[in-house]
A and B are shown apart, each in its own frame.
Chain A
Amino acid sequence: MAASLGVVTTIGIVVLLTYQTVQFFQIVNPIDFLTGTVWSASIEPYKFGVLALVSGTLLVATIAMIIGTPLGLLSAILLSEYSSNRVRNIVKPVLETIAGIPTIVLGFFAINFLSPEVLKPIFGDDIGIFSALAGGIVVGILITPLIASISEDAMRAVPRGLREGAYAMGATKFEVVRKVVLPAAVSGVMASIVLAMSRAVGETMAVVLAVGTRPQLTFNPLESVQTMTAFIVQITQGETSQGSVQFLSLFAVAMVLFVITFALNLASAWIVRRYRTAY
């Protein structure tokens, strides 16, 4: 009984989102929704071009990946390959503490410290308090522990014999990591990166505070944008009447978000299955 709750929840989410999205598509043309680049849900003329929100989301997620992937992978390598107890006793608690910080705290950090004290002095007037860059940086910090822990598990699963074989051939430690451990652990490493991408796309509270509320199609990280999650928060915070087109657009955006994250999660699981090397 309890186990089937999961299936009920999944079906419930899919049915709910589909039903409300269909309602939304009776008012707004699905083609306009999926290909439009202007999003204006609260100011007339209303425009529902979801690409403006999708691009904001992807911009933030991409910055997050650029920051989180190297930090996470290098930490994982440090833990799995170089870990003297002293290093381990520092690295593990740091990663666990970051993983335990509520995401709203990272959002606060972005607008209270990162934007005014770090980014403003670097970029000057090109950057405001709200920017995709600030959001991307805090989300990057947030996903680092996820990448680190899954990648570390994958690297630890690589048998000792493989490493020792390489050492016996005269490889240095770095060469063992680069040419033996990383290729052997590639499925886990790739899966962790894709999963982190999904997490970055779905992250809400850190992003809502940091990136602002200006939906626009831009690739400039210094601009203020709006992500899909931030839009959902904005609409539900305000007094939007049930059944209005704004309220329905919420479900359509949630549907897009659900499909993207679901596809990424499936891709991550698929990578593990497809590229797993058994020893």
Chain B
Amino acid sequence: MAGLTATPAASSPPRFEPALMRRKLTGTLFYGACLAAIGILIVALLALLLDVLIVGLPWLDIDFIASMPSRRPAQAGVLPALVGSIELAIIVGLITFPVGIGAALYLAEYAPDTRVTRLLQTNISNLAGVPSIIYGIFGLAIFVRLLGLGPVLFSGAATLALVILPLVIIASIEAIKAVPQAQREGAYALGASRWQMVRSSVLPAAAPGIMTGIILAMARAIGEAAPLVVVGAAAFVTSLPQPLSGSFTVLPIQVFNWAQRPQADFQGIAAAAIIVILVLVFILNLLALVVRARLSRHIQW
């Protein structure tokens, strides 16, 4: 802290004030830099949203939502991709819900604190850092080829479930660990078995955190495209997707496909499809807020 050492006032009093002024000026400049940083982020975010809206809104209407894709941008729609995205999010949710909560409950409540448990936990945090496209390659080899499902919606959903499971498990463990110990002891004192204690005390108290984690993970799944490209989502689908048969596409894949074409019309429908994605993600975020508020109504400690 050499810079903080004050010059003894007696030796050179006049120097003190200018130095303080300079130090305060540096501080003000730094605060300005912080504000500038957030200003840059706001400008970038606004530019992005405005760009998408200006380019996409003219193309967005009921026909766009309710039509099949077409080689001609003017007639193209996102219905198969929209239905695909929603089906995908539901299947991902159905897979992650039991597996994620099960794994989190085991790790946080049941598992003894041994090296194996710590290894399992470290492993899950490491999996959270693996790029999603690598899961795509894994899904391609396991679900599409080895299990012989083919490039169907379910293969994509199972792959995405693997991508978001580590996030769901980590969020759920945090929520479970945040439940006060007294809640558990209260249940035990009333003679509850371990499972009764978990079901009646831990799960309701951790539910807001767990559900928020799962819904936000589903929002992430809706915007995710990389693993699906690898698994084999199709670029051009003119029928509504079935979970276990036929080709499928989702909104981000549709955007990817259209955005690659330089023509202004395709850029337009790409932006319109982005608006649809953003609305879906926004709805899920809102849902997370509502669920959180409802589930935590009865919790007080």
- Given known pairs A13-B134, A254-B134, A257-B131, the reply for A109 and B52 (CB within 8 Å) is yes
- Given known pairs A6-B120, A109-B48, A209-B260, the reply for A104 and B27 (CB within 8 Å) is no
Min C-beta distance of A198 to chain B, whole Å: 6
Interface size, B (range)? 35 or more
- For A97, A201, A242, the residue with the greatest tally of chain B CB atoms inside 10 Å of its CB is A97
Within 8 A of B (CB), among A1-17: 1-7, 9-10, 12-13, 16-17
Q: B38 touching A2 by the CB < 8 A rule?
A: no
Min C-beta distance of A7 to chain B, whole Å: 6
- Given known pairs A105-B274, A233-B230, A250-B137, the reply for A179 and B4 (CB within 8 Å) is yes
B229 within 8 A of A: yes
Q: B37 touching A71 by the CB < 8 A rule?
A: yes
Cα of A195 to Cα of B45 in the assembled complex, Å: 23
B189 within 8 A of A: no
Residues in A neighbouring B232, C-beta threshold 8 A: 236
Cα of A106 to Cα of B223 in the assembled complex, Å: 11
Interface-lining segment among B63-71, B72-80, B98-106, B193-201: B98-106
A237 within 8 A of B: yes
Cα of A94 to Cα of B230 in the assembled complex, Å: 32
- Given known pairs A94-B41, A171-B4, A209-B256, the reply for A113 and B27 (CB within 8 Å) is no
Cα of A262 to Cα of B301 in the assembled complex, Å: 41
Min C-beta distance of A65 to chain B, whole Å: 15
Q: B41 touching A144 by the CB < 8 A rule?
A: yes
B33 touches which one: A2, A74, A237 (CB < 8 A)?
A74
Interface size, A (range)? 35 or more
Q: A3 touching B4 by the CB < 8 A rule?
A: no
Cα of A5 to Cα of B3 in the assembled complex, Å: 53
Residues in A neighbouring B41, C-beta threshold 8 A: 71, 75, 94-95, 98, 141, 144
Residues in A neighbouring B131, C-beta threshold 8 A: 201-204, 229, 257-258, 261
- Given known pairs A3-B120, A5-B165, A97-B45, the reply for A265 and B230 (CB within 8 Å) is no
A177 touches which one: B30, B100, B270 (CB < 8 A)?
B30
Residues in B neighbouring A90, C-beta threshold 8 A: 38, 42
- 0 or 1 for each of B7-48: is its CB under 8 Å from A? (1 = yes): 000000000000000011011001101111110111011011
Residues in B neighbouring A269, C-beta threshold 8 A: 122, 125
- 0 or 1 for each of A201-212: is its CB under 8 Å from B? (1 = yes): 111110011000
A25 within 8 A of B: no
Chain B: CB-nearest residue to A201: B131
Cα of A100 to Cα of B278 in the assembled complex, Å: 9
Cα of A77 to Cα of B36 in the assembled complex, Å: 13
B271 within 8 A of A: yes
Cα of A269 to Cα of B123 in the assembled complex, Å: 12
A102 within 8 A of B: yes
Residues in A neighbouring B156, C-beta threshold 8 A: none
- For B24, B133, B136, B270, the residue with the greatest tally of chain A CB atoms inside 10 Å of its CB is B133
Residues in B neighbouring A107, C-beta threshold 8 A: 256, 259
Cα of A111 to Cα of B1 in the assembled complex, Å: 47
A91 within 8 A of B: yes
A245 within 8 A of B: no
- 0 or 1 for each of A102-134: is its CB under 8 Å from B? (1 = yes): 111111110111000000000000000100000
- Given known pairs A6-B127, A105-B274, A205-B226, the reply for A172 and B23 (CB within 8 Å) is yes
Within 8 A of A (CB), among B251-278: 252, 255-256, 259-260, 262, 267, 270-271, 274, 277-278
Residues in B neighbouring A144, C-beta threshold 8 A: 41
B107 touches which one: A3, A95, A201 (CB < 8 A)?
A3
Cα of A258 to Cα of B132 in the assembled complex, Å: 10
Cα of A95 to Cα of B42 in the assembled complex, Å: 9
- The 5 listed contacts between A and B (C-beta, < 8 Å) are A104-B256, A108-B259, A109-B52, A198-B129, A262-B126
A-B contacts besides A103-B226, A198-B129, A202-B131, 11 pairs, CB < 8 Å: A6-B123, A10-B126, A74-B34, A104-B256, A108-B271, A171-B4, A174-B23, A204-B225, A236-B232, A261-B129, A269-B125
> Chain A: residues with CB nearer than 8 A to chain B?
1-7, 9-10, 12-13, 16-17, 70-71, 74-75, 77-78, 82, 87, 90-91, 94-95, 97-98, 100-109, 111-113, 129, 141, 144, 166, 169-175, 177, 179, 195, 198-199, 201-205, 208-209, 229, 232-233, 236-237, 242, 250-251, 254, 257-258, 261-262, 264-266, 268-269
Closest 4 pairs between A and B when the two form their complex, measured CB to CB: A102-B223, A202-B131, A174-B27, A74-B37
